[in-house]
Amino acid sequence: MASNKKGRPRRGAKPWSGRFNEPVADLVKRYTASVTFDHRLAEFDIQGSLAHARMLRAVGVLSRRDGAAIERGMARILAELRDSTFPWSLEYEDVHLNIERRLTDLVGDAGRRLHTARSRNDQVATDLRLYLRAAIDRVLGLIKLLQQALLKLAAEHADTVMPGYTHLQVAQPVSFGHHLMAYFEMLARDAGRFADCRRRVNRLPLGAAALAGTSFPIDRARVAQELGFEGLCENSLDAVSDRDFAVEFCACAALSMTHLSRFSEELVIWMNPRFGFVELADRFCTGSSIMPQKKNPDVAELVRGKTGRVNGDLVALLTLMKGQPLAYNKDNQEDKEPVFDAVDTVETSLAVFTAMLSGLSVNRERLRAAALEGYATATDLADYLVRKGMPFRAAHETVARVVRDAEAQGRDLAEIKLPELRRYSRLIGGDVYAALSLEGSLRSRRHRGGTAPGTVRAAIARARRSLR
């Protein structure tokens, strides 16, 4: 039997073991236990349990004495967790039962009464939401720090000319600061998505109990207010089985990592000696065990690689949920490791990326030289002809012939003399060279969102205001 003569579970017995005639096999214990990873929910579990206990006391379900004992016991457990003396046990399978068992050891029957009017189903959903809410707040702070680092670098290079690429082929001149600001915009969208996700995370499932609610006169609004939730999960079945919020977090994290991965790819390319656009500080690179000349951009490569981990976390959660009937199923134990991994990966990646940017040096001369390759101002010549009255398609064809001939002669467009240019069109005058210069090309794009240095500085100013 699982209980003693007083009806209390024997030490080591599961809280549900009265239903069974034999103990759980050791193999099954190891297979089904989650305490090895869900222990990181411990402090959130205590927060939720204290709010639940205070509510039970307020509605008269729990005595004042039991409430005080639970408060005292939880304070002791919290101290043990923080000084790493808490006695974790695989025997109690998860974070919730470990804490409940320790509380009962410390305060006796008061600890056993804590679980009144709740289930582990709504308890774990609450803990995970509390955990993710805190994680989102940290991620938002890390995104802001990276944005600030980008703004600092962009302000230093609003006038720095570089080649803009499409298909990784030289397309048009852009400001290096403008290029950096593209990543600021991506991060701003990331921050917006995480903030929006937080609103859906921040709903209280506690009170749904196992799946149907509880017959006790609970006050869910009180618990929500104490825990800082913005609202309640309105349907008990959905409250215990919903993991949309976890999937959504992983989707936000995957997109954020995708943006870091794209930036990482560019840093890897730019650092290659064939480009030589940037240099990463030695502290963010490694060498080769056999080639002494090597300086490898390992941090950028790892960010790029770890993006696949977070994509995998998202797919794992989607796959986990796709076949589950209502309400809670044991499958949902598998939700935590992907979430924890996504949190850890996106947090560390944002932090290391911000630090890496602080050690980035930019080679203005190499950037400008590269912008002179590939006839980057060809579109400016076409626009010049359009302003002189030529239809754009005709201008496009005309400039294509100029580029083809210049390429055959190994000359840049700005090196072609005016009489030669006029053979392609009599509309071309001496003022054409302003359009053919890199700086002239940049200055001409003064509209909002353009790459003119003044426009880039205005974008940086707006961005700084948005972060206040």
Q: Which residues are part of the catalytic machinery?
A: 167, 288
d(CA 392, CA 201): 52
| Per-residue DSSP letter, 242 | -
What phi and psi, each to the nearest 5 degrees, are found at residue 89? -145, 130
Burial track 46-71 (b if 16+ CB lie within 10 A, e otherwise): bbbbbbbbbbbbeeebbeeebbebbe
Tokens at 170, concatenated: 């030289």
Beta strand 360-362 with 169-175 is: unpaired
Q: From 73, 68, 74, 72, select the one nearest 54 (Cα to Cα).
A: 68
Burial of 238: CB neighbours in 10 Å, binned 0-12, 13-18, 19+: middle
Tokens at 271, concatenated: 């650092």
Burial track 335-364 (b if 16+ CB lie within 10 A, e otherwise): bbebbbbbbebbbebbebbbbbbeebebbe
SS3 205: coil
d(CA 349, CA 291): 28
| Per-residue DSSP letter, 239 | H
d(CA 468, CA 457): 17
d(CA 307, CA 313): 10
d(CA 111, CA 369): 73
